[in-house]
Homo-oligomer: A and B are copies of this chain.
């Protein structure tokens, strides 16, 4: 029983996207999909995302709500050098610890800016961390990400966050990755809702999502089957494929 509990434990994460630029519609967020995909590969499920403004109270509320009920909490944005970068202060406030200058972060910034005009007060802001934090390396821009407890502070610029995630790959304990298989079909999802429901009900631990689209003047849908068990996933995919074949709708393995 102990083994079973161990293998079936689901590890979860939440993400807080800090940024007025997302809430104003000016910037299309790219970090949600990027972090979600990366977490999936680590065997960790992204359970909830909140996008909050550059406002300390809003960040503190979200940090405390989400860090307690998830194994991991990620944040993106607000760790740069300007006045609107307040994520470090907000996370420190949420955790009840002071903000300190991290000696290695300072050394990294001094080395990085040695040929780029030197460190100034604004740049030194990026060496500030909640007391007790570790750094997450960043090969792009010098300024590191930050880990404190189960909270991971990442950059707002997606390319920098990608580098930070790369540095974290394989470092986080997770469970079984959620496997997915997509079956596409030129059919209105409303025609085959019963088939989907029955396929999902028949296989324990399987979820099927139905994602309709309109292309080339026709309606279709992709059905995404998810399970942590490769055998069950294959069985469910076969059952759904056969059911679609039976009613004369050609299923497309891999999706349309």
Interface positions of A (Cβ within 8 A of B): 17, 20-30, 32-40, 45-54, 58, 80-84, 116-117, 120-123, 125-126, 140-141, 157, 159, 178, 180, 188-191, 193-194, 196-197, 200, 207-214, 224, 226
Decide if A53 touches B47 in the complex (CB within 8 Å). yes
Q: Which of A17, A38, A121, A224 counts the most B-chain CB atoms under 10 A from its CB?
A: A224
Chain copies in the assembled complex: 2
Q: Which chain B residue has the least Cβ–Cβ distance from A156?
A: B211
Decide if B194 touches A122 in the complex (CB within 8 Å). yes
When chains A and B are docked, how far (Å) is the Cα of A83 from the Cα of B221? 14
Decide if A40 touches B24 in the complex (CB within 8 Å). yes
Interface of chain A, main secondary structure: mixed
**A200: min CB distance to chain B, Å:** 6
Q: List 8 A-B contacts (CB under 8 A).
A: A20-B209, A24-B178, A26-B180, A28-B30, A32-B51, A80-B189, A120-B191, A122-B189
Decide if A84 touches B208 in the complex (CB within 8 Å). yes
Q: Which residues of B contact A191 (CB under 8 A)?
A: 117, 120, 122
Q: Which residues of B contact A116 (CB under 8 A)?
A: 188
Q: Which residues of B contact A81 (CB under 8 A)?
A: 189-190, 193
| Given A81-B190, A190-B122: A36 and B49 interface contact (C-beta under 8 Å) | no
